[in-house]
């Protein structure tokens, strides 16, 4: 399985996209003139910003749950966990096209299972996207003995979920483990006794901000 943990300023998932965008802009400038190439250069800049992947300093706080993605918190609620069949606390983070789209492991532990579901491509900000869109879920048994599920959900224009870990893998808190291309969402299901430290509407940074704390 590919290693997605190595850090780059520009996500390696975007190298090909950036190269094509830049080559198209150069070709347009060469054959049609630099003024005509300006829209393509603007598009190339957009692609670069989309695939940026700045390094993050991972908090060391005991029992901390790290935000798995950059974006805006669109749900903090008590729900039925559809993967483990238990009551859980859910936090959902929506990533628009201007957010960093690398995904990070929220807790240290062992991946017990991985689910992948092909699906539809509703706007990731709406609630039914969690159950009907393409998604990839990881069940992590934490070092504290808790069960955490983190789910990558494709969005309206997202067409590729990448995940670099699988069943049996040892994962570390803040580890970069996946990427979703072009607009998406991440859901995390925690024990009902977990302490949540974010609120609806908060802007969060993956691998940097603390989402909450697991029970002791």
Between CA 90 and CA 103 the distance in angstroms is 17
Task: Label residue 189 left, alpha or beta by phi (over 0 means left) and psi (-120 to 50 means alpha).
Answer: beta
Q: How many CB atoms lie within 10 A of CB 165?
A: 21
The secondary structure of residue 61, as a DSSP letter, is: -
Would residue 5 show up in a list of annotated catalytic residues for this protein? no
Handedness of CA 23, 26, 29, 34 (dihedral sign): positive
Closest CA to 137 of 148, 124, 151, 147: 151
Under the phi-then-psi rule, with left for phi > 0, alpha for psi from -120 to 50, and beta for the rest, what region is 109? left
Set 37, 92, 130, 184: catalytic member: 184
Contact indicator for 110, 168 with CB cutoff of 8 Å? yes
Q: Please say whether the beta carbons of 72 and 206 come within 8 A.
A: no
Chain centre to alpha carbon of residue 158: 12
Inter-axis angle of helices 15-32 and 34-50, to 10 degrees?
Answer: 170
Please identify every residue annotated as catalytic: 184
């Amino acid at each position: 399985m590919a290693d997605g943990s190595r850090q780059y300023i520009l996500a390696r998932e975007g190298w090909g996209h950036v190269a094509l965008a830049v080559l198209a802009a150069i070709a347009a400038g060469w054959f049609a003139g630099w003024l005509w190439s300006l829209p393509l250069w603007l598009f190339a800049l957009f692609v670069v910003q989309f695939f940026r992947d700045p390094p993050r300093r991972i908090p060391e706080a005991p029992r901390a749950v790290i935000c798995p993605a950059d974006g805006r918190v669109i749900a903090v609620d008590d729900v039925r966990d559809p993967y483990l069949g238990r009551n859980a606390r859910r936090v959902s983070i929506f990533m628009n096209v201007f957010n960093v789209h690398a995904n990070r492991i929220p807790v240290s532990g062992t991946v017990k299972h991985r689910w992948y579901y092909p699906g539809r491509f509703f706007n990731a900000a709406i609630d039914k996207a969690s159950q009907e869109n393409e998604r990839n879920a990881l069940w992590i048994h934490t070092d504290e003995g808790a069960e955490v599920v983190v789910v990558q959900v494709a969005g309206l224009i997202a067409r590729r979920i990448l995940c670099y870990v699988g069943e049996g893998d040892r994962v570390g808190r803040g580890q970069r483990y996946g990427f979703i291309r072009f607009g998406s969402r991440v859901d995390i299901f925690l024990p009902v006794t977990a302490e949540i430290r974010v609120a609806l509407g908060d802007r969060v940074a993956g691998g940097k901000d603390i989402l909450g704390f697991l029970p002791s």
